Amino acid sequence: MVRPPISLTAPTNFVHPKTSLSERRTTWNYIKALMWKNFLLKRRNLVGTILEIALPAIFILLLGLIKSRTSDVEVPSGWSDDTTVPGNDSLGTSYNLYQPTGSLITWVPTALPKYNMYESSLTGLILMLGQKSVADGLNMDELSAADLATCTQGVKKYGAVSTNTSSPNRVPEACAGKIAPYKIGVAPNNAFTHQYFMKTMELWYPRVALANGTSSPQVPSFEDSVEFFETGDAFEKYVKSKEYGTALDKPRIYGGIVFDTFPSDDAIGTFSSIEYTLRLNSTNSAKGDMGFIPKTSEAELSSFQRKIDDEKYSRYAVTGFMTLQTLVTRFVTCMPRWDASTKTTTGECQRSQATANNSTALDDRLISTLSNDALIKAALPSFSTNSTDFSSVLATMPAASKEALLKPLRQAPQPYLGALVAPMPIDEFTSSPFYDSVKDVFALVFILAYLYMISRVLVVFIQEKESRMREFMKILGVKEKAILISWYITYIGIAFVGAILQALAGLVGVFSNSSVILVFLFFFLFGTSVLAFGFLVSAVFSKARTGSFVGMILFFLMYFVSSTFSEETSENSKMI
């Protein structure tokens, strides 16, 4: 009997399944052995291990102890804040909406109402431009006492703010080039803005004498308070230039009206699309006070806001933003008649309903709103009239001057109800002044709490390289990934236990009203990020002492980078 031949051909690229399983088991055995080694190292330095885990929780407990020393304030509903009432440190204060004092804006040197703000008039804004021109003069202390008095009185009291040297209302020669007056910028410079819009403003806002006599205080005309620019880009370029605000013929710009869409020369005087942009300075002061208007890069809505924020809306109302907005609105609503043949306007509105009819009662009501104008109040001391209220100035004002002030006020929208801006009332809530007190150092405290942990992570990672222990283990067959995984598991466990302690510590005091799960996740993920940062730095250094020192400095500097730069920081400041 003949057996058929048997062919034995080995399969190509054959790997026995037990080989891969053996390798995996070996790697896992290495990891278990290395973790036991890590455990022994941590147990040998038990105090250091305990500090790694508990130090952040201790900081949280200390903050909770400090918080327990302060009292929460129950803020009532309505127009209220967390200012405590006398004799009760746990009850906030309620106010009358129409309380006449209680607020202050850095740029407006007069007392303001607590909540209800009166929209400033253009008359007040023009007066303030002169006041601010002197306040921000260029080395005014170099003038003699006589020249300083003449310069100040001429600009503030008599409204001599024109930069045209041939104008009778030019800046006094006694100022000796020390005044770079503030102006309202208008762009672009064309027939619509210069011959139509500006001509109407000249008719609505001429120079006004506030009393009889040649030495009476005067409100500058709108014409003397404006600087034209050929285009919006030219406007921006000038404000950014080095020559800006350096001389009489290089005035400062308080605010700007830039017409983005406007009628062609043939369509002037017709009802067509007009779009414009208002530009005011939002740069914070050297002391950190908010600019003329708030920055628009911030979030429009804060879901956690409970208090009344009176900083933003008050600036829009008082410092001139709403004033310029109302000015353009009145112009567009009126749409003055335009003579295309002579390219002039009489200022008469095409819509008769845009102008209120003359009546004594209405006129008295409209002009009385000027007495509430904060910018006019701020200018009163420079008039030398011994008047603390503008109503007394109105009482002795010539009829022609009063009529000049009334003319723009009769244009819709008229300030019949006083042009008030007020916040909505709030619900009652519990305020904790502690958080406001520590908000600037809160993050720094946690950075300090984690410095010890980051130093320990760096030491264990770098010390293995420095002592050649890692190379020795590789010679014995231990894989690199097994070494790294063992340390990651070790420190993830430390971060996990530490996060539990921190969440429980926060539940006692600092984060008593927060979700313990969210607090735990926050601290646990932050701990893992510390571990990742330590691994990154350890790849660069081979000396444990140097690496840990530099790593802690970098970790600390990262906090300052994040706290220094924000959404409000300019792009140029963020560039290296």
Give the DSSP letter string of 150-181: HHHHHHHTS---B--TTSTTBPPGGGTT----
pLDDT at 22: 52
Give the angle subtended at the CA of 359 by the CAs of 374 and 352, to the nearest 5°.
95
Helix (H) or strand (E) holding 9: none
How high is the pLDDT of residue 20? 57
570 — pLDDT class (breaks 50, 70, 90): low
Q: How far apart are the first and last CA of the chain?
A: 91
**pLDDT digits over 471-508, tens only?**
777 777 777 778 788 888 888 999 999 999 999 999 88
Higher local confidence (pLDDT), 34 or 522: 522
Q: Residue 21 above 60 pLDDT?
A: no
Residue 254: what are its φ and ψ, rounded to 5°?
Answer: -75, -45
Is residue 516 within 8 Å of 507, Cβ to Cβ? yes
Work out the angle at residue 558's Cα, subtended by the Cα atoms of residues 557 and 560, and round it to the nearest 5 degrees: 65
CB-CB contact of 82 with 75 (8 Å):
yes
**Coil/strand/helix, residue 83:** coil
Q: In this predicted model, which residue has the larger pLDDT, 478 or 512? A: 512
pLDDT score recorded for residue 19: 46
Q: Give the Cα separation of 538 and 226 in Å (integer).
A: 62
> Residue 299: what pLDDT?
67
Give the pair of three-digit tokens for residue 95. Answer: 């106010």
Mean pLDDT value of segment 330-359 = 91
> Nearest-5° angle of CA 297, CA 126, CA 138?
80
Mean pLDDT of 545-566: 80
pLDDT at res. 106: 87
The token duo for 323 is: 């004033």
The angle at the Cα of 22, spanning 20 to 25, to the nearest 5 degrees, equals: 110
Q: Which of these, 235, 283, 234, lies nearest to 256 by C-alpha position?
A: 235
Minimal CA–CA distance to 297: which of 108, 560, 574?
574
pLDDT > 70: percent of the chain: 92
Q: What is the pLDDT of residue 389?
A: 82
- What confidence category does residue 176 fall into, taking pLDDT thresholds of 50, 70 and 90? confident
Mean residue pLDDT of the chain comes to: 86
Q: Which of 457, 521, 516, 523 is nearest to 57 (CA)?
A: 523
Helix (H, G, I), strand (E, B) or coil at 190: coil
Q: Report the pLDDT averaged over residues 224-252.
A: 94
- When pLDDT is cut at 50, 70 and 90, the band that residue 435 belongs to is confident
Q: Stretch 36-43: mean pLDDT, rounded? A: 83
The string over 95-110, giving b where at least 16 C-beta atoms fall within 10 Å of a residue's C-beta and e elsewhere, is: beeeeeeebebebbbb
List pLDDT tens digits, range 352-397: 899 998 899 999 999 999 999 999 999 998 886 666 788 888 888 9
Could you tell me the residue ranges of all domains in the chain? Answer: 26-69+433-564, 115-135+165-296+305-421
- The predicted structure's pLDDT at residue 569: 62
Residue 322: per-residue pLDDT: 95
In Å, how far are 86, 326, 443, 510, 541 from 515, measured between CA atoms? 35, 47, 19, 12, 40
Has residue 338 got a pLDDT over 50? Answer: yes
Q: What is the pLDDT of residue 459?
A: 84
Where residue 552 falls (left for φ over 0; alpha for ψ -120 to 50; beta otherwise) is: alpha
Note the pLDDT of residue 13: 44
Identify which has the larger pLDDT, 479 or 216. 216
Tokens 């891969």 correspond to 20
What pTM was estimated for this model as a whole?
A: 0.78
Q: Is 560 or 228 the better-scoring residue by pLDDT?
A: 228
Q: Are 155 and 134 in contact (CB under 8 A)?
A: yes
Asked if 427 contacts 77 with a C-beta cutoff of 8 angstroms, the reply is yes
Q: How far apart are CA 171 and CA 165, in angstroms?
A: 8
pLDDT at position 549: 85
Give me the pLDDT at residue 237, please: 95
pLDDT at 12: 44
Q: Which of 36-40, 61-65, 177-181 has the lowest mean pLDDT?
A: 36-40
Q: What three-state secondary structure class fits 81? A: strand
pLDDT at position 152:
93
Give the model's confidence band at 14: pLDDT under 50 very low, under 70 low, under 90 confident, else very high. very low
- Give the integer Cα–Cα distance in Å for 398 and 332: 30
